[in-house]
Homo-oligomer: A and B are copies of this chain.
Amino acid sequence: MPSFSRPDWSGRFNRLERACADLPVDALVCSSPVSIRYLSGFAGSAGLLVLVPNRPPILLVDGRYAASVADDIAADRIAPVTIELVERRYEGGLATLLDRLHLTTVGFEAAHVTVAALEAWKKVTPATQWRATEQLVERLRIIKDDAEQQILRRAGRLLAGVARALPELVSTGLTERGIASAIDDAIERAGFSAPAFTTIVASGPHSAHPHARPTDRELRAGDLVVLDFGGVLDGYCVDLTRMAVVGQPTADAFALYAAVRDAHRAAVDTVRPGIPASAIDAAARDVLTSRGFGDAFVHATGHGLGLEVHEDPRIGRADGGDSERIERGMVFTIEPGAYVSQRGGVRLEDDVLVTTDGCEVLTDAPRDLLVV
């Protein structure tokens, strides 16, 4: 077993400090729980992380968390932050801190702070100039560092193990909900702390809905069945989709499956540093279009994975503007699909880590149409 490396907290903090250097701010207040977790390891549901150059990050928490945060720092489970206890309301604690440290120009995460929250902060910090920032922490998170790659590799292997067990979990006589429950149990047994999202088991006509939720529908002969599930390991999400069919597939169903399988392969084969994300999407979309399923592919080819199950980069059409450039260390899904109303849908999904000259498939498990 390799030993797992401790997150490089100071590396993350230094990169953020460099990203902030061009901004005219004395400090950055992170309020997004994901940003806070990425920068400090603190994973509570409330808290503010205040970053001031040349100081340890300051974590504002309320009484519910104070004891556990101190324990976590002592045990080296989270970054060595300075704890600032909030007595009542977070905005009050924040105002006191900014005042004490003479911080007057302060950045905030505009994509996370609501209009109402900013108003509340402004009310108690009349001397503060608040500056909207965007994508500062998200831009760091898009490239996974060594500790993150280790976790995601391990998570991918565990999820592939669950995929390999699908023949034992999916059978006729079961409902979508029953199969989803069996998959969730397998995810937990594999060592994940939780499913990464509500497991999708979508059979027959339901498979034509990309975001279907499991129902009490029993599998029936001829059904295509979308099995889309994921797990959270040490806070990081992985995500995988495989397909089953009840009995031998019709020629139409198999053609749909084969088109998606080939689109998936074409997209994976395209991944390498330096190309725009849209080139990966185009590789999948071209295959589906050539088989007559271009309009049936109603979503993007993939999305980033990390502390969130949907994060940057978006692997989709260029959409008018520039498409993200693929870089080494990115981790994202490749999940083309094709959905034909009333008849059924197919999706195949894996997670890839971009390497120097291509990608590593983190969730390597058979992609065959599983006949049940």
Contact A67 B112, CB 8 Å, known A188-B184, A319-B88: no
Contact A113 B110, CB 8 Å, known A64-B210, A67-B209, A211-B45: no
Q: Is the CB of A64 within 8 A of B211?
A: yes
Partner of A211, one of B44, B117, B341: B44
Cα distance A67–B68 in the bound complex, in angstroms: 46
Residues of B within 8 A of A44 (CB): 211
Whether, in the assembled complex, A14 has its beta carbon less than 8 Å from a beta carbon of chain B, the answer is: no
Partner of A198, one of B67, B184, B194: B194
Cα distance A16–B108 in the bound complex, in angstroms: 32
Q: Is the CB of A111 within 8 A of B111?
A: no
- For residue A307, give the distance in angstroms from its CB to the closest CB of chain B: 15
Whether, in the assembled complex, A185 has its beta carbon less than 8 Å from a beta carbon of chain B, the answer is: yes
Q: Is the CB of A68 within 8 A of B116?
A: no
Q: Is the CB of A212 within 8 A of B115?
A: no
Q: Is the CB of A134 within 8 A of B116?
A: yes
**Count class of interface residues, chain A:** 35 or more
**0/1 per residue, A128-146, Cβ < 8 Å to B?**
0000101000000000000
Q: Is the CB of B114 within 8 A of A298?
A: no
Q: Is the CB of B299 within 8 A of A63?
A: yes
Residues of B within 8 A of A185 (CB): 185
Question: In chain B, what residue has the closest Cβ to A342?
Answer: B67
A residues 24-47 touching B (CB-CB < 8 Å): 43-45
Q: Is the CB of B319 within 8 A of A211?
A: no
Q: Is the CB of B341 within 8 A of A67?
A: yes
Whether, in the assembled complex, A293 has its beta carbon less than 8 Å from a beta carbon of chain B, the answer is: no
Q: Is the CB of A211 within 8 A of B68?
A: yes
Residues of B within 8 A of A116 (CB): 110-111, 132, 134
- For residue A153, give the distance in angstroms from its CB to the closest CB of chain B: 22
**0/1 per residue, A83-117, Cβ < 8 Å to B?**
00000100000000000000000001011111111
26 A-B pairs in the complex with CB atoms less than 8 angstroms apart: A44-B211, A45-B211, A63-B298, A64-B298, A64-B299, A65-B209, A67-B341, A68-B209, A68-B211, A68-B212, A71-B209, A110-B115, A110-B119, A111-B114, A111-B115, A111-B116, A113-B114, A113-B115, A114-B115, A115-B115, A116-B132, A116-B134, A119-B132, A181-B188, A184-B188, A193-B198
Q: 4 shortest A-B CB distances, which residue pairs?
A: A63-B298, A110-B116, A68-B209, A110-B115
Extra A-B contacts (18), CB below 8 Å, given A65-B211, A111-B114: A44-B211, A45-B211, A63-B299, A64-B210, A64-B211, A67-B208, A67-B339, A71-B209, A88-B319, A110-B115, A111-B116, A111-B117, A112-B114, A113-B115, A115-B115, A115-B118, A181-B188, A193-B198
